[in-house]
């Protein structure tokens, strides 16, 4: 599994806003959108392109377009926290399709419970971009990726705001994801499976306590 940590000053600024406990709920959602756009741009780095002629007001030159046969990734936000990343992903890839996987963590076992899955039964090798703000234990990401593998997904890219080193290694060891893009790999997981220093619960900070 390839791991890409996005190292950009504007991404770092947005991440700082997300970490700050005084950031309001609207401010948190705005910062999450800002940072998600940086992450999705990085996740799209290897999309195939063609060189094309273009005429500017000053004369001819060459430009770039996505290759005509490029298959855009299916965007799969992991509910509920991943919803906050979807608008940014659609702003970058407005023609991409979206599927939803709803998972709720059991706070005793730290394992995911599935309550929604709208991913097509057969993706026929289509690439997929999983959107999930936090890679902590990696249970949710692995469950989502396994479900996508069962649906015959192509390359699976997991895009997260924050990651714990334990989660990265668990995801890598599972063999379910091909690429992982994140803004930071933090220090560790605490005894209840939260990322430290992290930013708290991304779902609660976006939408309120469930």
CATH number at 142 reads: 3.40.50.2020
Residue 21 lies in domain? 2-45+72-207
For residue 54, tell me if it sits in a domain: no
Look at the chain and report how many structural domains it folds into: 1
For residue 102, tell me if it sits in a domain: yes
CB 153 within 8 A of CB 127: yes
Which pLDDT belongs to residue 80?
A: 85
Total-model pTM: 0.90
CB 40 within 8 A of CB 88: yes
For residue 106, tell me if it sits in a domain: yes
Nearest to 134, CA basis, from 43, 19, 45: 19
Catalytic residue among 33, 105, 149, 172: 105
Answer yes or no: 109 catalytic: yes
Answer yes or no: 37 catalytic: no
User: Taken in order 128, 133, 137, 140, is the CA torsion positive or negative?
Assistant: negative
Which pLDDT belongs to residue 110?
A: 59
Answer yes or no: 46 catalytic: no
For residue 143, tell me if it sits in a domain: yes
Tokens of 170: 């668990």
For residue 17, tell me if it sits in a domain: yes
For residue 52, tell me if it sits in a domain: no
For residue 130, tell me if it sits in a domain: yes
Answer yes or no: 201 catalytic: yes
CB 17 within 8 A of CB 27: yes
H/E stretch holding 129 reads: strand 128-131
Give, for all 210 residues of the chain, the pLDDT tens digit: 999 999 999 999 999 999 999 999 999 999 999 999 999 999 999 899 999 999 999 999 999 999 888 899 999 999 889 999 999 999 999 999 999 998 776 666 656 677 787 888 899 999 999 999 999 999 889 999 999 999 999 999 999 999 999 999 999 999 999 999 999 999 999 998 899 999 999 989 999 875
Catalytic residue among 16, 24, 109, 118: 109
For residue 140, tell me if it sits in a domain: yes
């Amino acid at each position: 599994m390839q791991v890409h940590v996005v190292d950009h000053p504007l991404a770092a600024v947005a991440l700082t806003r997300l970490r700050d406990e005084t950031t309001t709920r609207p401010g948190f959602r705005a910062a999450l959108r800002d940072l998600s756009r940086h992450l999705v741009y990085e996740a799209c780095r290897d999309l195939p392109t063609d060189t094309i002629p273009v005429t500017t007001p000053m004369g001819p030159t060459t430009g770039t377009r996505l290759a005509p046969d490029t298959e855009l990734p299916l965007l799969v936000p992991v509910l509920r926290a991943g919803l906050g990343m979807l608008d940014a992903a659609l702003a970058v890839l407005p023609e991409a399709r979206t599927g939803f996987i709803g998972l709720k963590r059991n706070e005793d076992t730290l394992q995911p419970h599935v309550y929604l899955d709208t991913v097509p039964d057969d993706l026929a090798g289509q690439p997929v971009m999983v959107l999930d703000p936090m890679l902590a234990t990696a249970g949710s990401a692995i469950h989502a990726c396994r479900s996508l593998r069962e649906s015959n997904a192509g390359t699976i890219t997991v895009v997260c705001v924050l990651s714990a080193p334990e989660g990265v290694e668990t995801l890598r060891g599972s063999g379910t994801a091909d690429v992982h893009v994140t803004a930071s790999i933090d220090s560790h997981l605490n005894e209840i499976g939260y990322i430290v220093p992290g930013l708290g619960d991304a779902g609660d900070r976006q939408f309120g306590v469930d």
